[in-house]
Structure 1
Amino acid sequence: MSNQDPHHVQPEKIYSVLIVGGGAGGIAVAASLHKRDRKLEIAIVEPSDTHHYQPGWTMVGGGVFRPEITAKAMAKVMPDFVTWHQQQVVSLEPDQNCVTLSDGTVLGYKALVLAPGLELNWAGIEGLTESLGQNGVTSNYQEGMAQYTWEMVKRLKKGTALFSQPPMPIKCAGAPQKALYLSSDHWRRNGVLDDLSVQFHNAGAVLFGVPEYVPALQSYIDRYGIDVNYQSNLVSVNGPAQKAVFRISDTEGGTQDREISFDMLHAVPPQRAPAFIRESSLANEAGWLDLKSDTLRHSHHENIFGLGDVSGTTNAKTAAAVRKQAPVVAENLIAHLNDQPLTAEYLGYGSCPLTVERGRIVLAEFGYGGELQPTFPTWVNDGTKATRAAWWLKAKQLPMLYWQVMLKGHEWLAKPKKLSQ
């Protein structure tokens, strides 16, 4: 649309704060804003009918959680103090402070928060879309498919099980490994692991990006006898034939394709920002939302902030990151609206509870540059080791904390750090 289009210069409504995305980031930041200033007129744009607790999908795939605890009707989760536009965003016009929705509505804003999450690029792996959900091809990343993962794990008694991890960045970088470990643990407990060839194909060059956590993870790789293949990227799947092709890179930059037959394949697709972000002027060169890493304000637009999986910052893309980001965005956005200097700083915190076996977790907590940022002292939980305390937190406490604390704007253990001037 041209700048002369009357819809662009005359928004239907102008909000104090317009939030794009009703996932963890959008709702958490709305709640944090409302707690700070109840006079703010806030709207959320979110097309979905259902809100998913995505960290629970791995646990469904491991037979730990029932699927129903990982979802609620969006209408029940959406705060009553916001106006909900159940539409998709078609385009952003940051220079005119407005957003166009799929029904043609144009909404204006004084401040914009972008938290639409990311897009799973299933088509990025040839044949994967049509293969999912049958012939042993599964993915805990696909809504509703974790139950199929668990059915396959229970059914498999011999043969080859493949687990893939695509190039970074992806949401919850540990999730591909969580599926690998929980499955292997089930097979070990049921006495069939020796009859299985379990392979992990990682497009990256290391087991985990923060070295302190690697020894604990490697000990489970050894325990389960997992064949780890680095720089091995899944590029195509033939479900009916039960064959997968991996592209293996060498240190000189050359590649070689390798076809492997499987009985089960847990595939993880490459991931990217939604099209309306990556094709806009707000994206960085890699297509992610171009944010300042400390304040989470856009690099070129003072009244635009962002958080969650869409962010181009280098933190891990996890719900735990959102828990720390939401108060930072809320505090800085209100400072902006009041013409005050920004005061809150995000230190890159992310958490990845790596479910290495049923009953134990390696609780990886780290910030920018891989700096360890543990929530608890080591006498409560040593995150570099597999502990029962971390399992108790993940399996028993985190779902409640997500629904009742984070989405309600309670900032326990998430108070923003003061920006170092």
Structure 2
Amino acid sequence: MPPSSSPQPLRHHDVVVIGAGAAGIAVTASLLKRRGDLDIAIVDPAETHSYQPGWTMVGGGVFPAAVTRRPMADVIPHKASWYAVDAASIDPVAGEVVLGDGRRLGYTRLVVAPGLVIDWGAIEGLEQTLGQHGVTSNYRFDLAPYTWSQVQSLERGRAVFTQPPMPIKCAGAPQKAMYLSCDHWRRQGRLGDIDVSFCNAGQVLFGVPDYVPALEHYIERYGIETAFGQRLVAVDGPSRTARFAVSDENGEQEVERPFDMLHVVPPQKAPAFIATSSLANEAGWLDLDPETLQHVRYPAVFGLGDASGTANAKTAAAVRKQAPVVAENLLASLGEMPLPAAYLGYGSCPLTVERGRIVLAEFGYGGTLQPTFPRWVNDGTQASRLAWWLKAKQLPWLYWNAMLKGHEWLARPARRD
């Protein structure tokens, strides 16, 4: 339904939350846990809610896809009002959100958590060939099972895994898909007949140096070619060729790579209604104070999750730590009190280097290590079975039954000075 040409009546809420992904649901649950009388509205048109960290495991044959998705109505906190429509624009001066159907919502406080946009169309030919000709991606619910089918069926040939320029959702996911695939081929005795390449638009294997040696061990173990400074720009599915822009000291040129299987991670960007608004920073992301997660120019606006312009890794684990910070600071701001909670940039990337072992990367702003467990329990710089047990057995349950319900175990915010 197109927006109405005449202004719609304004409905006011104490808090409007844009987005019902991990960030939006978690912060709504955290707010209601602290103040059950708050009038909170959630704006999101999606009919289902996905546990996206599970899609890597689907692509590796560990989870069935169905366990990663539930009806949105089952995860929206029952005390919140749900507007099943998109947000068209935000007027932070007037304190209003305009919905895609023309309705207008006023707010006392706004939480912006719409996630990011995966730009499939940025790579020439990709959309036309996804899900066929061996072209796949674990970044989509319907394609992760196709990844596993391709891994199972590939007996020899070339497998190419790509990573676009940062920032992206879960920076380790491109490698996770590759390592789980290689481990399966190794166990089946096929790895020697498959040439595996990792084409990374960046210049390093992983952005936090402490974890690189463990990852390099698996690169060598699986015989993976690492090709840095190579950005995927086009895919021709029927001919099974991929074209890359290659940057070096001589500038940029294009090279083609043949493939039998191609796992693609496309470029990612902020939603247009943020990128084109006064809420955005120069790069188009939500302009937040990195510690308080309050907007730097509009104090009635807070944000968290993948659309944020803070320098943390864009992961569900980051949201787990951000949600209580936003909840505490938003409520303090309603009472005109100093903001008490601090987010230190925590993010976690469980790097699935083989079936049964994970390098549990946990770090904050500036690459500072922020391990949850003492080193004698789990050394995050090494692959461990404990980290696999957490990822495969515990984290999905904690996501659905704790994080999305306002239970903040091991997520207590730091305090501001």
TM class by smaller structure: over 0.9
**In the alignment, what sits opposite 1:269?**
266
Q: Give the partner amino acid of 1:240.
A: P
Kindly indicate whether the alpha-carbon contact (under 8 Å) linking 1:11 and 1:108 is maintained by their aligned counterparts in 2.
no
Q: 1:182-233 deviations in whole A, cap 9, x for unaligned? A: 0000000000000011000000000000000000000000000000000111
Match of 1:413 among 386, 405, 410: 410
TM-score normalised over the length of structure 1 = 0.97
Does the alignment pair 1:346 with 2:347?
Answer: no
Q: 1:294-334 deviations in whole A, cap 9, x for unaligned? A: 00000100010000000000000000000000000000000
Q: Give the partner amino acid of 2:242.
A: A
- Unpaired stretches in structure 2, ≥5 consecutive residues: none
Does the alignment pair 1:374 with 2:371?
Answer: yes
Q: Distance in 2 between matches of 1:268 and 1:341?
A: 41
**Counterparts of 1:121-140 in structure 2 under 5 Å?**
121-140=119-138
Q: Distance in 2 between matches of 1:139 and 1:227?
A: 20
Q: Distance in 1 between matches of 2:25 and 2:6?
A: 31
**In the alignment, what sits opposite 1:74?**
72
**In the alignment, what sits opposite 1:34?**
32
Q: 1:72-126 deviations in whole A, cap 9, x for unaligned? A: 0000111100000000011111110001111110000000000000000011111
Q: Distance in 1 between matches of 2:173 and 2:249?
A: 26
How far off its partner does 1:6 sit? 7.7
**In the alignment, what sits opposite 1:335?**
332
Q: Distance in 2 between matches of 1:350 and 1:6?
A: 44
Q: Distance in 2 between matches of 1:6 and 1:138?
A: 44
**In the alignment, what sits opposite 1:22?**
20
**In the alignment, what sits opposite 2:48?**
50
How far off its partner does 1:44 sit? 0.2
How far off its partner does 1:38 sit? 1.2
**In the alignment, what sits opposite 2:219?**
221
Q: Give the partner amino acid of 1:70.
A: T
Q: Distance in 1 between matches of 2:37 and 2:102?
A: 28
Match of 2:320 among 318, 323, 346: 323
Kindly indicate whether the alpha-carbon contact (under 8 Å) linking 1:273 and 1:310 is maintained by their aligned counterparts in 2.
yes
**In the alignment, what sits opposite 1:394?**
391
Q: Distance in 1 between matches of 2:391 and 2:247?
A: 35
TM-score normalised over the length of structure 2 = 0.98
Match of 2:89 among 91, 94, 98: 91
Kindly indicate whether the alpha-carbon contact (under 8 Å) linking 1:11 and 1:98 is maintained by their aligned counterparts in 2.
no
Kindly indicate whether the alpha-carbon contact (under 8 Å) linking 1:354 and 1:361 is maintained by their aligned counterparts in 2.
yes
Does the alignment pair 1:364 with 2:361?
Answer: yes
- Unpaired stretches in structure 1, ≥5 consecutive residues: none
Match of 2:202 among 193, 201, 204: 204
**In the alignment, what sits opposite 2:190?**
192
Does the alignment pair 1:296 with 2:323?
Answer: no
**In the alignment, what sits opposite 2:166?**
168
Q: Distance in 1 between matches of 2:176 and 2:6?
A: 51
Q: Distance in 1 between matches of 2:141 and 2:270?
A: 18
C-alpha root-mean-square deviation of aligned residues, in Å? 0.9
Q: SS of the residue aligned with 1:113?
A: strand
Q: Distance in 1 between matches of 2:141 and 2:223?
A: 30
Q: Distance in 1 between matches of 2:239 and 2:107?
A: 52
Q: Distance in 2 between matches of 1:132 and 1:68?
A: 20
Q: Distance in 2 between matches of 1:145 and 1:408?
A: 28
Q: SS of the residue aligned with 2:93?
A: helix
Match of 2:307 among 297, 307, 310: 310
Q: Distance in 1 between matches of 2:22 and 2:239?
A: 39
Q: Distance in 2 between matches of 1:256 and 1:312?
A: 31
Q: 1:343-390 deviations in whole A, cap 9, x for unaligned? A: 100000000000000000000000000000000001111000000000
Q: 1:111-148 deviations in whole A, cap 9, x for unaligned? A: 00000000000111111111100000000002211000
Q: SS of the residue aligned with 1:95?
A: coil
Q: 1:216-258 deviations in whole A, cap 9, x for unaligned? A: 0000000000000001110100011100001110135x01111
Q: SS of the residue aligned with 2:402?
A: helix
Kindly indicate whether the alpha-carbon contact (under 8 Å) linking 2:65 and 2:141 is maintained by their aligned counterparts in 1.
no
Q: Distance in 2 between matches of 1:35 and 1:102?
A: 30
Q: Give the partner amino acid of 1:91.
A: S
Q: Distance in 1 between matches of 2:196 and 2:388?
A: 24
Kindly indicate whether the alpha-carbon contact (under 8 Å) linking 1:324 and 1:346 is maintained by their aligned counterparts in 2.
yes
Q: Distance in 2 between matches of 1:29 and 1:338?
A: 18
**In the alignment, what sits opposite 1:250?**
248
Q: What count of residue pairs does the alignment treat as equivalent?
A: 413
Q: Distance in 2 between matches of 1:144 and 1:324?
A: 29
How far off its partner does 1:11 sit? 5.0
